[in-house]
């Protein structure tokens, strides 16, 4: 992982771990493999790959039998898959925007959140000491997310991984686009409007000001029948970006970044 761990929010879903003995809730290692394949909607041709992916170092016979090597590979596969996804779906974003979005999507918190929502935490094969002492690091669940990705890749190829990541991380990508791709407000507004309002923004020229060689443009974003606060720009492109930023602020109940001035 490239990003650092962050303290979990108070309302974050708690991690549920059970050891592989079956004593806690009847969940032995074989049952965990079955459960995990149901969760990820993929049946392994080589179940030993999944077994390795789910085995934490505390539950492994030796270090190389744990999921650490698969985690290493899964980190790279996750990054490449998300980069390809963003490159294809967001052609209007520059390299800096894409980098910020990708970093947010593949962070430990995002991967850990996805793992817990799927239920991969309950599929982990860990030693008794981990479940008894509850002293495990939260990064443990983001690690298994990556190791399972690597196992699927080795067993079924990149398309198997791509389809599932687009399903599991869709909300994380959309949120990151809105919050991290802020240098392109028009794109962020379009994503928001299409998802939340089933409409596409248009931009209306309200008026122009100044001589021909130094014109300013006042433009407003319009979604459906709602016109948002207009914003000035020294050219139409900048004015549209500012108008989109105002619209996003209004939709989120935030102060206007570009208040209209006479």
Q: Is residue 161 a contact partner of residue 149, using CB atoms and an 8 Å limit?
A: yes
User: 75 an active-site residue?
Assistant: yes
Mean pLDDT is lowest, of 141-155, 183-197, 201-215, for 183-197
Residue 203 pLDDT? 97
Angle 95-105/170-180 helices, nearest 10 degrees? 130
List the domain boundaries for the chain.
29-180, 186-252
Rounded average pLDDT over 161-188 = 85
Domain 29-180 sits in CATH 1.20.1340.10: no
Tokens of 106: 């593949």
Burial class (CB in 10 A: 0-12, 13-18, 19+), 214: exposed
Q: What percent of the chain has pLDDT over 90?
A: 51
- The verdict on whether residue 178 carries a ligand-binding annotation is no
Residue 9 pLDDT? 43
The reply to whether the predicted model has a pTM over 0.75 is no
Q: What percent of the chain has pLDDT over 70?
A: 79
Catalytic residue among 75, 121, 172, 178: 75
> Is residue 137 predicted with pLDDT exceeding 70?
no
- The verdict on whether residue 19 carries a ligand-binding annotation is no
Buried b / exposed e over 3-33, threshold 16 CB at 10 Å, is: eeeeeeeeeeeebebbbbeeeeeebebeebb
Catalytic residue among 97, 121, 146, 155: 146
Comparing 70 with 16, which gets the higher pLDDT?
70
Q: What beta strand segments (E) does the chain contain?
A: 202-209, 216-223, 226-227, 231-233
Q: What SS3 class is residue 21?
A: strand
Mean pLDDT is lowest, of 111-120, 126-135, 151-160, for 126-135
Residue 92 pLDDT? 67
User: 146 an active-site residue?
Assistant: yes
Mean pLDDT is lowest, of 131-140, 207-216, 227-236, for 131-140
User: Which band of pLDDT confidence, cut at 50, 70 and 90, is reported for residue 73?
Assistant: very high
- Tell me which fold the domain 186-252 belongs to: Double Stranded RNA Binding Domain (3.30.160)
């Amino acid at each position: 992982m490239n990003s650092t761990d962050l303290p979990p929010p108070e309302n974050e879903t708690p991690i549920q771990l059970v050891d592989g003995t079956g004593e806690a809730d009847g969940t032995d290692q074989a049952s965990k493999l079955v459960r995990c394949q149901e969760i990820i909607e993929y049946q392994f041709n080589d179940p030993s790959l999944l077994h390795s992916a789910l085995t934490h170092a505390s539950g492994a016979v030796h270090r190389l039998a744990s999921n650490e090597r698969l985690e290493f590979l899964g980190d790279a596969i996750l990054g490449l898959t998300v980069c390809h996804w963003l490159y294809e779906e967001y052609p209007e974003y520059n390299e800096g925007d894409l980098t910020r979005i990708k970093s947010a999507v593949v962070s430990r918190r995002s991967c850990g959140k996805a793992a817990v929502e799927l239920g991969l935490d309950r599929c982990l094969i860990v030693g008794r000491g981990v479940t008894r002492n509850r002293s495990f690091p939260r990064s443990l669940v983001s690690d298994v997310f990556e190791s399972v990705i690597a196992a699927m890749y080795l067993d079924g190829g990149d398309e198997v991984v791509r389809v599932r990541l687009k399903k599991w991380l869709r909300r994380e990508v959309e949120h990151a686009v809105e919050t991290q791709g802020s240098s392109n407000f028009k794109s962020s507004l379009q994503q928001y409007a299409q998802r939340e309002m089933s409409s596409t923004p248009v931009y209306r020229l309200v008026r122009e000001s100044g001589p021909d060689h130094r014109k300013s443009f006042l433009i407003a974003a319009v979604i459906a029948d709602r016109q948002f606060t207009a914003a000035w720009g020294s050219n139409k492109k900048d004015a549209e970006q500012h108008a989109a930023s105002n619209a996003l602020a209004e939709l989120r109940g935030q102060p206007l970044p570009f208040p209209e001035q006479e």
